């Protein structure tokens, strides 16, 4: 279902909640919850209960600086039914004022996509989800029908191998730009956004030039080599807004020997402040 005009975000939907949260805490930092048990502190068990405990401690330590929390479902799914229970507990432990993105990169056809969307938006009550457009827009339609929820479409992902397909030329432009253009044309109840890796500042700039208002999730800050400042400068709009600089490993597993939760808070506070300083310097005054 495509039109020539770009729809506005739903009032009170994901995009507006993100903007309101950003203004309230003066940050554009998204914190990824990727609980890898092999990296846990010694006192945290490498179990489903352990990943729940670990994430809850990170949430408590960093929530003052997080515009969103992005939960990577794979680390929970690896523990089977106990992992799903841990995922539910972690989701429930995030304050209602903070939007939650389920990072599961779903994409399938027909009733399968409908079941995936129901799991994300009803069973887990996520505010947004990452989705894979490779099967075509009809495969995402069940997600797009959820009014006010965020549907973040993979566009130019942060991994090096993204160039294998996403850079291929399609009628004179790279595939990722074609995905971005078509995402912007979706007239649907959901708030459509894009995933563009912070590791590709050139792609962030090109995608942002297509539209000022769309929310862009930019993973890859920290361990993958991108900086908060780099992401915000390349991907925010003319006011310095609408770019979620997403970091996971450097916040969850800081290199310092201090208490893990304290160090996570320190890094989150540092990067949240950096995201807002770039906004105020390069964009319009807050």
Question: Could you give the residue ranges of the DSSP H alpha helices within the chain?
Answer: 14-25, 48-62, 74-77, 80-92, 110-118, 141-144, 163-166, 175-184, 201-210, 228-235, 249-252, 260-282
Is-catalytic flag, 118?
no
Q: 54: which 2 tokens? A: 């670990």
Contacts of 255 (CB under 8 A, 6+ apart): none
277 to each of 5, 157, 233, 281, how far by Cα in Å? 33, 26, 11, 6
Annotated catalytic residue within 70, 105, 118, 279: 105
- Give residue for tokens 């490498």: 46
Q: 204: which 2 tokens? A: 């962030």
Q: 243: which 2 tokens? A: 């770019």
Q: 222: which 2 tokens? A: 């920290």
**What single-letter DSSP state applies at residue 101?**
E
CA distance 286 to 280: 6
Quote the crossing angle between the two packed helices 175-184 and 201-210, to the nearest 10°.
30
In DSSP terms, 191 is beta-bridged to: 150
Q: 51: which 2 tokens? A: 């990943």
Q: Do 47 and 89 meet the contact criterion of CB atoms below 8 Å apart?
A: no
For the chain, report the end-to-end CA distance as a whole number of angstroms: 36
Active-site residue numbers? 105
């Amino acid at each position: 279902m495509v039109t020539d005009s770009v729809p506005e975000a739903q009032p009170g939907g994901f995009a507006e909640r993100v903007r309101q949260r950003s203004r309230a805490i003066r940050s554009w930092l998204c914190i990824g919850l990727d609980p890898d048990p092999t990296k846990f502190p010694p006192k945290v068990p490498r179990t489903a209960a352990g990943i729940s405990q670990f994430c809850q401690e990170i949430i408590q330590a960093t929530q003052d600086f997080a515009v969103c929390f992005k939960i990577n479902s794979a680390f929970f799914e690896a523990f089977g039914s106990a992992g799903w229970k841990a995922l539910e507990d972690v989701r429930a432990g995030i304050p209602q004022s903070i939007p939650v993105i389920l990072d599961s990169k779903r994409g399938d056809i027909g009733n399968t996509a409908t079941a995936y969307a129901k799991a994300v938006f009803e069973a887990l009550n996520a505010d947004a989800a990452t989705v894979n457009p490779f099967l075509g827009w009809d495969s995402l339609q069940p997600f797009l029908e959820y009014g006010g929820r965020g549907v973040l479409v993979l566009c130019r992902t942060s991994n090096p191998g993204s160039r294998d397909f996403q850079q291929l030329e399609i009628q004179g432009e790279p595939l990722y730009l074609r995905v971005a253009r078509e995402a912007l044309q979706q007239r649907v109840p959901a708030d459509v956004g894009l995933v563009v890796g912070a590791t590709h500042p050139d792609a962030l700039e090109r995608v942002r030039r297509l539209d000022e208002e769309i929310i862009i999730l930019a993973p890859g800050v920290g361990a993958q080599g991108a900086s908060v400042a780099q992401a915000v400068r390349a991907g925010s709009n003319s006011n310095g807004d609408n770019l979620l600089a997403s970091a996971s490993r450097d916040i969850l597993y800081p290199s310092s020997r201090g208490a893990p939760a304290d160090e996570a808070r320190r890094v989150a506070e540092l990067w949240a402040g950096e995201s807002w300083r770039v906004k105020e310097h390069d964009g319009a005054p807050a």
